[in-house]
Each structure stands twice: as C-alpha cells, then as structure tokens.
Structure 1
Amino acid sequence: MIRLISVALALFAAVATTRVALAQEAAATNGDGVFSEAQREAIRAEALAAILAYPEIIEEAMAILEEQKANKALAAVLRDPNTPVLGNPDGAITLIEFFDYNCGYCKRMADPMRDLIAEIDDLRIIMVEVPILSQESYEASQAALAVNMVGGDYSQVHFDAMTARGRTSVDTVLASAQTHGVNQDILRAVMTSEAIEDTITRNYDAMRSLDISGTPAFIVAGSSSPTALTDINLMPGAVPVEELRSTIEMTRAGS
C-alpha cells in the first residue's frame, strides 16, 4: 500500500507539472487558459507514459478495488446477527464458506472444516448458507438458520447435516436439532420468518456480487474488524485442506 501511494503521488506530480506548464502556455497563447486539443493530447500522453513507467500500479490498484468490492459484497453478511460463526468469533483470520447442504463437494469439506476449527485457535469461520440446488436444500438452510437464531447448537446440527448419508432435508436438520435439545415446533415456527428469508437473500446477493457460480467457495482473509476484511483470497471449489492451511498462514504472516 505504501509503495502504491508513493508511485501514485509521483504520477500525480508528473501529470500536474505538465498541466501547469500547458496552462501557462494556453494563457499566453489563447488568453483564456483553455487547453487546445493538442495540449489535452499532451496531458494524456504524459499520463500514459507515467503509467507505463510504473505498470505495477495498475495491478496494485486492481487488487485494492477487488478488496473494496469484496468488502462491500460481504458487509451485509458480516453485519447480520443471524449469520452463523464457528471457531473463534474474535479470530484474527476469517474463513468464509459458501455452501449448500446437498452439494456433494460441500459435504466432503465438512471433516476438513472441523479439523481447521480444532487446529487453529485464531480462526473465525463464517458460514454462508446459499441453498442453490433445490427446495429441499432451501428448507434445510431455513431450519439450520432457525437453530442459530434461537441459540441452539448450530455447529453440531450443521456438521450432523453435512455428514448425514443421502439427501439432507428439513427433517434431517430438525431431527439433529431435537437430539441437541432444540424443540422442533419452535424451529418450524421460526424457520419461515422474514428475518431468515432476509439472511438467505443477503447471502445470495453476496454470492452474485463476488461472481461465485457454485458451491463450495471459500474466502480466506484478515479480520481488521468484525465487519471488514483485508488480504482477501477467493478460492472457489472443494479446496484441498492443505491449500486452505497455507493460505491462512500466508494471510497471518501478511497481516
């Protein structure tokens, strides 16, 4: 960031110097200080030459813009009190998973995700429910989010649902919740609430804004605050757990 600011200031100074010189020339020539087409072209040429002299500024600027875009897309999800959080809620590193309960690759990631929670003390995991495969998935997500909303053990219910054999349905989630002490009737009343509909809608919006086309998808980032991320790494697909670990460590080293 410091390097980018220094280069940007150098570019600004170069272009500003050219503009001042041409403005003086225009004032002397035209009397009105308005740039001619040739003078405007000279300014554009100076700007282009400066950018070509420091091409890395474009890459760095694009990275900053992508980070801003991701933070904007995720802000509503991170601020939502009904977004489930696993691991350390105050962790310095954030891992976000976009998932569907009936996505086979998502199910394969369940045990690796549990391992990461057990291994890494400063890892905050944000669970973004995006039921895109079927109505069955949608209802399962409604029930799981209801567990979270009423203060039930979302983590246990989530991993029960992700490791269950066959299709995961609302009944799968409700049965697990009952096992962990949450009344099914309460969940059925809560799961169709507007608050849960809003949570799922926010999740869909974030997914679209980030151009995520399927599940699972992961984001590893630093946590500058509970609702702002840094060093954002988007990793689509069933990422090998070793790659997640190494990205987490690189993010920690860079934060």
Structure 2
Amino acid sequence: MSRVTLALVALVGILAGALGYSAFNKPAPQTTDAVAVRAIVDAALAERDAAEKPQAVAAIDPAQLNPLIEQYLLSDPKILQRMSVALDSTLQAEQREQSTSAIASMRDKIYNDPDQVVLGNPKGDVTLVEFFDYNCGYCRSALPDLATLLAEDPNLRVVLKEFPILSNESIDAARVAVLVGKADVDYWSFHEALFSARGQVDKGAALTAASELGLSPVTLEMQMGEPRVSQAIQTSYEIAKALNITGTPTYIIGNEIIPGAIGIDELRSRIANMRECGEAQCQG
C-alpha cells in the first residue's frame, strides 16, 4: 500500500471521528485537530502531484559521451561493417516491399495492356518488362542482350513499354512505334532498325523503318495524333510514376524494378530465380 493510500486511509479515520460518529452511530467526543487534518491532506496531495509529474532526465554531456562512443567503436572497428550490412539489408527489404506493393497496384497495366508489344512466348512462364526510349544509348547497347535472351529462352515472355522521355523526337518515334505494334508486321525488325539507325531517332527514321515493312508512312503520319496512340504512351507514364521509374532502360522482373542496363548475366540470373523461387532474388 503506498504512502498516499495510507495517508488517505488515516484521513478518512480522522474525519470520521471529527464528524462525531461511532460504530454504533452515536455522537463521539470531538478530538480532531483541524490543523493536523489540513497537514495530512496537503501532504497526500503533494505526494500525488509528485507521482504524476514526469521524471526529470539528467542531461548528457557530449564532451564525456563522445569519447566513450569513439573508444567503443575503435575497440571493434568491425561494428561499423556489421552496421552497414544490417542497414543495407533493411533498406533492400524495404525497397522490395515497396516495389512489390507498387507493382501489385499496377499489375494489369504492366502485364496485360492491350497496346503493349509482346515478344517471345506470349504464354511464357517468366515475363521480362522493359521501359525504353529509342534515343537512349544504354537501351541501344542492351539490345543484343534482349535478342540473345529471346533466342535462347523459348519460355520467356518480353513486354516492351514505350517510354519516350529524352526528347520530342523520341515521342514522335514512339507514336509511330505504337502503330507499328498494332500492325501485322514483324515488330522486332522495326525495333532493331531504329536502334541501329545513325543519329537521332525521330519521326522520319521511324516512318522509314515502318515503310520497309510494307506499311504506308502517309497513313501512319496521319494516325500518329490519334487518342489511342496518346493513351498507349500515357499508360507507360502512369506506370512509371507509380513505380518511380525515371530512366531507361528500366526492367521489371517479378517483384523487382531494375534500373539501368545490368547485362545479360544478371538478367539470366533474375529469370532463373523467378523459376526457382518465384522472385527475382531468392532469399537464403
């Protein structure tokens, strides 16, 4: 029982005597000193207030603390290495969680957009998505990697997302590419031709490559501004914004968003992981 409680119990007893009641409800002689009662009440209230106040925290002097921290770290420098590894693991886990959530929220637009170009096996067991710009030098250098993967992996599905962010000429080329993707022609030949072209890829280069596949450049130029074409490109922008994609090439494999041309070996590894554990990076 706390001192506050004991004081209050004592106070109740004293007040009962002061009111002049006995156990048999008969008047009793008044023996309580009013000053003593007041002192007990004040002491009880003061103790209660002290218990309710937050405890003061002693100030820490950096001049004393910092040398202790430094001495502790110097005694085992590998602590910093372990902290760095732990931090990297935590950040990677958070990034995977964020990417998984973002991809799930846009899954249908990423994988099933009717305006996107699908290469390889349409029913493949692994899907590789690439966001690209026809004027992106890194996309150009990564083209052989994609060609090799398509040639060696009959169960790979590749989705190409027009993501023209480098220039107005890139947007014009992408508009033509959307129309070519809808036509009954070999899109890969068009794709290779634009990435093999010298100089900047613009509307003229795209129309020339399309005409070599038998399409009418006049008709394509007339259709470039149609809402359906704009919407196809806008969908890529919406996905990129939701997934925080800001550059090209950017790949999506499983629950991982991969910025940059990471090379064919890394792509092969991610694809193999998808088949092994259902994620781009298997744990453990």
- The TM-score, its normalising length taken from structure 1, stands at 0.69
1:101 & 1:192 partners in 2: Cα distance?
19
1:188 & 1:141 partners in 2: Cα distance?
12
SS of the equivalent of 2:257 reads strand
Q: Which residue of 1 aligns with 2:212?
A: 179
Q: Which residue of 2 aligns with 1:38?
A: none
Asked if the contact 2:99/2:256 (under 8 Å) is kept, the reply is no
2:153 is aligned with 1:114: no
Instruction: State the Cα distance separating 1:208 from its structure 2 match.
Output: 1.2
Counterpart selection for 1:189 from 222, 233, 238: 222
Q: Residues 194, 254 of structure 1: CA spacing in aligned structure 2 closer, same or farther, 3 A cutoff?
A: same
2:275 is aligned with 1:249: no
Asked if the contact 1:152/1:177 (under 8 Å) is kept, the reply is no
Q: Larger % of strand: which?
A: 1
Residue range with higher mean Cα deviation, 97-106 or 146-155: 146-155
Q: How many residues align?
A: 190
Instruction: State the Cα distance separating 1:72 from its structure 2 match.
Output: 1.7
Q: Which residue of 2 aligns with 1:204?
A: 237
- Higher RCO, Cα 8 Å, sep 6+: 1
Q: Which amino acid aligns with 2:207?
A: L
Counterpart selection for 2:185 from 145, 149, 152: 152
Q: Which residue of 2 aligns with 1:88?
A: 121
2:260 is aligned with 1:237: yes
Asked if the contact 1:77/1:199 (under 8 Å) is kept, the reply is no
2:155 & 2:103 partners in 1: Cα distance?
22
Instruction: State the Cα distance separating 1:212 from its structure 2 match.
Output: 1.2
Asked if the contact 2:173/2:203 (under 8 Å) is kept, the reply is yes
Residue range with higher mean Cα deviation, 134-143 or 72-81: 72-81
After superposition, give the CA deviation of every residue in 1:94-114 in whole Å (9 maximum; x if it has no partner): 101111100111111111111
Instruction: State the Cα distance separating 1:177 from its structure 2 match.
Output: 1.2
Percent pairwise identity: 34
2:167 & 2:160 partners in 1: Cα distance?
19
1:61 & 1:129 partners in 2: Cα distance?
28
SS of the equivalent of 2:111 reads helix
Q: Residues 214, 62 of structure 1: CA spacing in aligned structure 2 closer, same or farther, 3 A cutoff?
A: closer
Structure 2: which 5+ residue stretches go unaligned? Answer: 1-88, 279-284
Instruction: State the Cα distance separating 1:65 from its structure 2 match.
Output: 5.6
- The TM-score, its normalising length taken from structure 2, stands at 0.62
2:141 & 2:107 partners in 1: Cα distance?
25
SS of the equivalent of 1:109 reads helix
1:172 & 1:77 partners in 2: Cα distance?
27
After superposition, give the CA deviation of every residue in 1:156-199 in whole Å (9 maximum; x if it has no partner): 10111012122111111111111111121221122221111001
Q: Which residue of 1 aligns with 2:77?
A: none
Residue range with higher mean Cα deviation, 161-170 or 100-109: 161-170
2:110 & 2:228 partners in 1: Cα distance?
13
Instruction: State the Cα distance separating 1:210 from its structure 2 match.
Output: 0.7
Asked if the contact 1:95/1:220 (under 8 Å) is kept, the reply is yes
Q: Which residue of 2 aligns with 1:66?
A: 99
Q: Which residue of 2 aligns with 1:229?
A: none
Point out 4+ residue stretches in structure 1 off by more than 4 angstroms. Answer: 59-65
Structure 1: which 5+ residue stretches go unaligned? Answer: 1-55, 222-231
SS of the equivalent of 2:106 reads helix
